[in-house]
């Protein structure tokens, strides 16, 4: 940390809002761990338990009806490893999130915003990175919750999306919105990269997570990038949070 690092009343509060156990680890855990290690707090909302995911890797054979419990346990174990608080889990079924009225989902998120008063909110951008319907539904409901929250409070948390620079997006065959290609905030995660990879591997039920761990390792993706949502109205506090993230 440098002497120019902005001073805050700590702990600052991070809130990640995602669709499935593992989204938080893939998208932003390197930065989230650094945040927590700097004496801040972090929380995660997971809208589903990912019941439609793969049924194990290696010799594992998980029954479909048990997968939600297994993935919830994987999530809890990882958050504990990262120093993050236990998750808020909504009881939606994996791949059903877009069947919910966005306003109802937004009101559930809003309750937690009011309770935690986060300084930073991270959720998927418009494409949800993978165009998964649950990711996109999470994005829409979070934006709505953010609007409701801001209309009723003087708090001004920043809202950011995990982003992927264009060359990396091409490597992974991703079709992103323009917003999600912007690297407004770049965080060097060399110090926490190993823990992030371990976190991905801990999702032993999930083939995708294993594959991503392999690719991140192969390419040594030891930085994370984020885009500021256009919904932000930046004030001094939010600009300081942005500078703080860059300084982590």
Interface residue with Zn ion among 12, 15, 17, 19 (CB under 5 A) is 19
Query: Which residue, 33 or 97, is less far from Zn ion as judged by CB?
Result: 97
- Does 20 interact with Zn ion (rule: CB under 5 A)? yes
Q: Which stretch binds Zn ion (CB under 5 A): 22-30, 79-87, 105-113, 149-157?
A: 22-30
Query: Which residue, 19 or 213, is less far from Zn ion as judged by CB?
Result: 19
Query: Which residue, 70 or 242, is less far from Zn ion as judged by CB?
Result: 70
Rounded least distance, CB 105 to Zn ion, Å = 15
- The answer to whether the CB of 33 falls within 8 A of the CB of 190 is no
Q: Give the C-alpha distances (Å, rounded to integers) separating 13 from 42, 43, 99, 167.
A: 6, 8, 30, 32
Count residues contacting Zn ion (CB under 5 A)? 3
Beta bridge partners of 248: none
Q: Which stretch binds Zn ion (CB under 5 A): 16-24, 165-173, 209-217, 238-246?
A: 16-24
What lies within 8 Å, CB to CB, of 194 at 6+ separation is: none
Cα torsion 87, 247, 118, 48 to 10°: value is -30
Q: Which stretch binds Zn ion (CB under 5 A): 13-21, 56-64, 93-101, 219-227?
A: 13-21
Question: DSSP letter string over 72-139?
Answer: HHHHHHHHHHHTPPPPEEEEEPTT-GGGS-HHHHHHHHHHHHHHH--SEEEE--TTTTT--HHHHHHH
Rounded least distance, CB 138 to Zn ion, Å = 8
- Does 129 interact with Zn ion (rule: CB under 5 A)? no
Q: Give the residue closest to Zn ion by C-beta.
A: 20
Rounded least distance, CB 203 to Zn ion, Å = 11
SS (H, E, C) 172-211: CCCCCCHHHHCCCEEEECCCCHHHHHHHHHHCCCCHHHHH
Rounded least distance, CB 20 to Zn ion, Å = 4
- Does 136 interact with Zn ion (rule: CB under 5 A)? no
Query: Which residue, 16 or 118, is less far from Zn ion as judged by CB?
Result: 16
Report whether the peptide linkage leading into residue 210 is cis, meaning its omega lies within 30 degrees of zero. Answer: no
Interface residue with Zn ion among 12, 14, 17, 23 (CB under 5 A) is 23
Give the binding site for Zn ion (CB under 5 A). 19-20, 23
């Amino acid at each position: 940390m440098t002497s120019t690092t902005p001073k805050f009343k700590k702990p600052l509060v991070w809130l990640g809002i995602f669709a499935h156990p593992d989204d938080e680890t893939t998208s932003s855990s390197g930065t989230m761990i650094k945040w927590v290690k700097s004496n801040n707090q972090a929380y995660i909302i997971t809208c589903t338990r990912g019941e439609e995911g793969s049924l194990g890797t290696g010799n594992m054979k998980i029954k479909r009806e048990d997968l939600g419990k297994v993935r919830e346990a994987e999530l809890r174990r990882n958050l504990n490893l990262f120093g993050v608080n236990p998750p808020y889990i909504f009881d939606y079924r994996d791949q059903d999130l877009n069947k919910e009225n966005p306003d109802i989902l937004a009101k559930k998120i809003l309750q937690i915003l009011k309770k935690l008063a986060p300084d930073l909110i991270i959720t998927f951008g418009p494409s949800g990175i993978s165009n998964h319907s649950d990711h996109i539904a999470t994005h829409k409901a979070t934006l709505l919750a953010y609007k409701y929250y801001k209309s009723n409070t003087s708090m001004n948390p920043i809202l950011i999306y995990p982003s992927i620079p264009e060359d990396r997006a091409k490597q992974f065959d991703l079709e992103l919105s323009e917003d999600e290609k912007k690297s407004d905030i770049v965080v060097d995660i060399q110090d926490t990269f190993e823990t992030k990879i371990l976190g991905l591997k801990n999702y032993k039920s999930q083939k995708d997570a294993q594959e991503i761990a392999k690719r991140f390792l192969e390419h040594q993706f030891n930085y994370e990038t984020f885009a500021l949502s256009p919904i932000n109205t930046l004030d001094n506090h939010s600009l300081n949070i942005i500078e703080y993230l860059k300084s982590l």
